[in-house]
Structure 1
């Protein structure tokens, strides 16, 4: 007997062709239901968890990059605003400026050619130096205050001494400074 059980039952007359077809149909339905209801195994769950973790990590990284770009854009906008304020209100020294005005910027002594009137205004605090794009511009004190609110590092601070240029613990405070000395 080399035939299948179905063939043997059909030959013996125990089952009809209709019953055989119905049995096959039922068998296929049960197999499909088993495949559809099959619980995911451990590997599939781990893979799904890893994919979700990677998705969350990528979303967080993208959020951080967007935040960093926004901060850089805000910083560039602030620098452009400072540049515009300084350029609109700058006071240019005359071409025949004959005095050098020395100031300290980032631990280095820098100088700017000015005339006597601009030097007096700088000393009184009516004019202030502002650093914009590696250049130093003279602006009125009110504009410098607006710039200082936006970026304190853009305004060149006057010396740490008192208003007359001397500090409280200066050992040479008792000695007069000659009138013709310009620093």
Structure 2
């Protein structure tokens, strides 16, 4: 018995030729449907992958646009601050010998000011703006407007150096006119 099952059934008389044809047709249809189903599944997976890639690209584009807009607004605020500083800076005298020392980060810088400007700096009526490595003196109201637009440009006011009540050196007051 070396034939296929179909041949064996035909030879034994258990099935007719018509039944054999129908079985072959059904087998072909089933195989064709499975191929079509696989093709549809593959197409569906491709569509889903394309949709996911499109959504990922749209999200990435949105993030890039937000980043560009943020950079543009930062650049515009920086230009506005630069313009405020340039327009409202206090002119420092060229021939002054009074040296005003201030700390920026961990570095000590100085400006040469006159006595009136020194008093205003000490009272907080004038403030120092540090922009692009340059230090300019601006009025306090302009400094407040600059701080609203861009943090970190205006140097903080010096800390109040009044001694604590339990400080053993509270009786030794540093003179106001001491310049360091």
Asked if Structure 1 and Structure 2 have the same fold, meaning a TM-score greater than 0.5 normalized by the shorter chain, the answer is yes
Considering only aligned residues, what root-mean-square deviation do their CA atoms show, in Å? 2.1
Q: Any idea what the Cα deviations from partners look like across 1:140-174, whole Å, max 9, x if unmatched? A: 1111111111123111111222xxx4343665332
State the partner residue of 1:177: 174
Give the gaps of 5 or more residues in structure 1: 1-37
State the partner residue of 2:108: 109
Shift of 1:178: 4.1
State the partner residue of 2:18: none
Shift of 1:181: 2.1
State the partner residue of 2:69: 70
164, 171, 175: which one aligns with 1:168: 164
Shift of 1:114: 1.5
**Please, what TM-score do these two structures have when normalized by structure 1?**
0.71
1: CA distance between counterparts of 2:67 and 2:168?
50
| Structure 2 CA distance for partners of 1:100 and 1:138, relative to 1, 3 Å | same
1: CA distance between counterparts of 2:43 and 2:176?
89
| Structure 2 CA distance for partners of 1:152 and 1:173, relative to 1, 3 Å | farther
2: CA distance between counterparts of 1:97 and 1:72?
41
Q: Any idea what the Cα deviations from partners look like across 1:78-102, whole Å, max 9, x if unmatched? A: 1111111111000121111212211
2: CA distance between counterparts of 1:110 and 1:51?
59
Residue 95 (str. 1) matches residue 94 (str. 2): yes
State the partner residue of 2:146: 147
**Please, what TM-score do these two structures have when normalized by structure 2?**
0.72
1: CA distance between counterparts of 2:93 and 2:110?
15
